[in-house]
Amino acid sequence: MSLAGSWFAHRFGFTTRELESWLAEALVSGGDYADLYFECVERTSLSLEDSLVKTASQGLSLGAGVRVLAGERTGYAYTSDLTPARIREAARTAACIASGPAAMLEAGLAPAPGHSLYEIAPEPPALADRLALLRRADETARSADSRVFQVIASLLDSVSHVLIATSDGRLAHDSQPMARLNVTALARHPGGPPQRGSSGGGGRAGITLFEGARSPEAFAREAVRQALVLLDAAPAPAGEMTVVLGPGWPGILLHEAVGHGLEADFNRKQVSAFAGRLGERVASPLVTVVDDGALPFRRGSLNIDDEGQPTQRTVLIENGILRGYLHDRLSARLLKSASTGNGRRESFRHAPLPRMTNTFMLSGESTPEEIIRSVPNGIYCANFGSGQVDITSGNFVFCSTECYKIEEGRLTRPLRGASLIGNGPEALRHVSMAGNDLELDQGVGICSKQGQNVPVGVGIPTLKLDRMTVGGGA
Amino acid sequence: MSFQPAHPLEEIAARLVNLAIGKGASGAETAAAEGSEFVCRVRLGEVEHLQDAGSRAAGVRVLRGLRAGSATTSDLSEAGLRRAVEQAFELANISTEDPHAGLPDPATLGVVDHDLMLHHPALAGLPAPARIDLARRAEESALSTDPRIATSNGATFSLHTGRRALGNSQGFLHSYSSSSCSLSVTAVASQDGLRQRDWWGHSARTLDALESPEFIGRKAAGRALRRLGARKPATVRVPVLFDPRCARTLLGHLFSAVTGEAVWRQATFLRDRLGQRIAPPGFTLTDDATTPARFGSSPCDDEGVQSRRTVVVEDGILASWLLHSYSARRLGLATTGNAARSLAGPPATGHGCLWLAAGPDAPQAIIASVRQGLYVTELIGSGVNIVNGDYSRGAAGIWIDHGELAYPVQEVTISGSLPRMFASIEAIGGDLEFRSSVAAPSILVGEMTVSGT
């Protein structure tokens, strides 16, 4: 992890000495801490629609952000122009936040460790190879069923190079791949209304990720299956009822119900429904929730977070008891804790915030069959769209896109989409059975907070909640 | 091409067109953008976050006959621009022929001929301490409204200035600046150990037009306070009154359902309803990018097509789709000047200022007309399916009992079907305000399922 091995040293000839001088510039008016974040993202986006190439785009985004922390104050400036004069100007702008004595860079910058969770292919994939993946998805979806009339397949892959230097001497860099393949299919009975199904996956890898089980054909078949299920679906019932969540992506429940509420910034400011509740019971004893940014190849994983800190596994809820918060450096310092490697940002245009990485619940002991068999009357949610939470009241929603009625312990008819609503500190108390089948999602999650989007992962085993409010259909 | 760039940003846009044509493209369109932003957030009287920065980037889309490719870059050196053009060519070369690919009809290119008053240089002259003071006053006002206001999640003042240049190989080259400022505060109220938060904010093109910090603070505090003691009601079918902030989201769904893409994909619940009644008389939805100073106004769309005013729904009848030139060619219609793009890629559909005409009734009179119902003041979640019209979202608000606002309500969902919701609108408020690029008065929907206990 020496500077010499970094993309920025290679491309711009940055030296350790230069980085140190910019940090000194940032602390010229005082402050406890400063950091520099350099980022270069190369992205390729292709989409196929009506079997024709609809979008074909490549992009290069390059820039640097300078941050100064002084007590609870943050000064931030960025530039898309990486000449030394502009970087120094950004450092001086960020410095305006501080006044008084400054922390000094004493020992100089030293390379800091990180994980090795993913690799960058030596050569970027050929455009034709990317397009071939989309054609396979398109052909599979179109030939899967005569009721399919529209298919959209898209592939987004990128490599982000980052370099981070901090005034407490940390020098870290990383090259972060990301790939994501999505298929949407529209289907209808002859003359009937259309229904949509979507599927996709990805992670921190190149497009070779789609060579194995996560093939374009598999996503295409899944998208078609979901559209066809909806063709014969009935409106969902309304009111409180027993809800069983399938494994994997329905883990978005955790992300909304507890994840955001445990991000330390909201707790430091006393605006979270979980503020001041460490050590208290917030969930059924069956519930253990962790955030782990150090899983190989996962969409939410990172070798280092966006403050140069190695990611880690953090226990948030252990057997139902609230154990920890997710910290970035600022919240860790102010709450006299340690960073959990959760300082993340969307790009060089944004200052870091405490964010989730891959957030999931550990497996329980029941089999999925036992769980469904135990429900006389309820609904089973196999797939979800997205969710949202009001941090302060703790109320959250998430929207089911594929669900079924459970009658006498069996899945019966498919239901149309419906929102589920609950209250974070309450909802997980109603977990009465947890499956032995933990799955993480396929790798399509995007989390939005204060206008910043970052990729995340979620996961749960099959889960039974005795009580949850389901919004009915029309 | 011979261009006469009037601004450094136009030079970049023109250079990209020339590089693409010089390399043999049959057509090219480019966009370049620069922006600066100032953001300060004050929390509990102290500046918590101060951000001041700027960036620039450009994009190019090249056509080789009926094949297209795009690239964007923030490296605006000659080498960076050349690399972007090469990348766009690479993509066009592996692309497929799309019979509808192309540039807009040259006759549609142009800019509105009156001053849209989008840029006010004086705004940038406001010194930093005065900017911070606005945020501080808004927060102070929220915190001092009532002893039950426990804390604040900060007050933010921000100021944005930007310029956008658009060019294409038909000789179009234009750039325009815009600026705006905004002030908002989030208040947290507390009672019996339970907290509620709500926010209020305002954006304007000039400081004079901005709501006062004191007003914004009081309004945020009042909204948070009225949520204290919120209950979860029983599941029931009742009328639902959307306040203007929530009513805007209904217009957003209607917009998604009338875009050209949704229509030619057959992926909208309105796909076969053009010319038909979709809402009661009195429901008139207009998309207008030509009114001075409004959010959503621009001299031209992102393809360089002159901005205009389109009535989308006229007195309840679906009158027009919203189209860019590609959608128009696919549907055999004319563009409505609704192209919106990031810097590259094919255009998506955007709107100018999308607004619903005000109705005759004050919101209080509408509330008074409801026997039992829900007044919705916040929506969360995204359970809206434009393809089949299914609507199901989380909501919070105030229960209406015998024509009066009775008690706050939370942790409910409201659900229905968009076509039936629009068709069953029973009242439109007189409280239309142009606060953003979507503007709505209060809307009373006849009946929806409110799902609680």
- B-chain residues near A52 (CB < 8 A): 96-98
Q: What is the pLDDT of residues B250-261, one digit of tens each?
A: 999 999 999 999
- In this prediction, residue A474 carries a pLDDT of 53
Q: Looking at the complex, does the CB of residue B77 fall below 8 Å from at least one CB of chain A? A: no
Average pLDDT over residues B419-424: 98
Is residue B70 within 8 A of residue B196, CB to CB? The reply is no
Say yes or no for a CB contact (<8 Å) between B411 and A57. no
Structure confidence at residue B6 (pLDDT): 86
What is the average per-residue pLDDT within A204-212?
94
Q: Find, in chain B, the residue whose alpha carbon is nearest to that of A239.
A: B451
Average pLDDT of the residues in B133-141? 97
Q: Is the Cβ of B417 closer than 8 Å to some Cβ of chain A?
A: yes
Q: How far is CA A48 from CA A185, B64, B97, in A?
A: 12, 18, 12
The answer to whether residue A332 scores a pLDDT higher than 80 is yes
Candidate from A2-11, A62-71, B85-94, B244-253 with smallest mean pLDDT:
A2-11
Of A385-389, B55-59, B199-203, which gets the smallest average pLDDT?
A385-389
> From CA A91, how far away is CA A31, in angstroms rounded?
12
What confidence score (pLDDT) does residue B246 get?
A: 98
Q: Which of A397, A449, A468 to mutate to test the interface with B (most CBs of B within 10 A)?
A: A397
Mean pLDDT, chain B, whole residue set? 96
- A4 CB-contact burial (10 Å; exposed 0-12 / middle 13-18 / buried 19+): exposed
- Which pLDDT value is given to residue B77? 94
Q: What is the mean pLDDT of residues A354-378?
A: 97
Select the residue of B57, B91, B151 nearest A269 (Cβ to Cβ): B151
Phi-psi region of B435 (alpha: psi -120 to 50; beta: other; left: phi over 0): alpha
User: What's the token pair of residue A111?
Assistant: 């390379």
CATH of B8-38+47-104, one of 3.40.50.1000, 3.30.2290.10, 3.40.50.11710, 2.40.30.260: 3.30.2290.10
b or e along B34-52 (b: 16 or more beta carbons within 10 Å of the residue's beta carbon)? bbbbbbbbbbeeebbbbbb
Which of A351, A338, A335, A350 lies closest to A309 in space, CA to CA? A338
Confirm if A419 and A399 have CB atoms less than 8 A apart: yes
Statement: residue A106 has pLDDT above 90: no
Q: What pLDDT sits at residue A99?
A: 79
State which residue of chain A sits closest to B346, comparing Cα positions. Answer: A55
Position B412 confidence tier, pLDDT thresholds 50, 70, 90: very high
Average pLDDT score over residue span B110-117: 96
pLDDT beyond 90 at A40: yes
**Window 253-282 of B, Cβ < 8 Å to A:** 265-267, 269, 271
Domain annotation for chain A: domains and CATH numbers: 3-231 (3.30.2290.10), 239-470 (no CATH)
Q: Do B269 and A193 touch (CB under 8 A)?
A: yes
Burial (0-12, 13-18, 19+ Cβ within 10 Å), B211: middle
Q: Are B145 and B222 in contact (CB under 8 A)?
A: yes
Q: State the nearest Cα–Cα gap between B97 and chain A, in angstroms.
A: 7
Could A472 and B451 be called an inter-chain contact, meaning their C-beta atoms sit closer than 8 Å? yes
Residue ranges matching CATH 3.30.2290.10 in chain B: 8-38+47-104, 121-162+175-225
Q: What is the pLDDT of residues B357-409, one digit of tens each?
A: 999 999 999 999 999 999 999 999 989 999 999 999 999 999 999 999 999 99
Segment A188-205 shows an average pLDDT of 94
Segment A37-55 shows an average pLDDT of: 94
Assigned CATH for B121-162+175-225? 3.30.2290.10
Residues A62-71: pLDDT tens digits? 999 999 999 9
Predicted confidence (pLDDT) per residue in A243-283, tens digit: 999 999 999 999 998 999 999 998 888 888 898 899 999 99
Confidence grade of residue A96 (pLDDT, cut at 50, 70, 90): confident
Distance between B10 CA and the closest CA of chain A, angstroms:
18
Three-state DSSP class for residue A284: coil
pTM of the model: 0.94
**What is the band of A473 on the pLDDT scale with cuts at 50, 70, 90?**
low
Asked if pLDDT for residue A1 goes beyond 60, the answer is: no
- Whole-angstrom distance, CA of residue B139 vs CA of residue B239: 35
Cα–Cα distance list, A420 to A20, A42, A242, A244 (Å): 51, 38, 11, 12
**Given this model, what pLDDT does residue B360 score?**
95
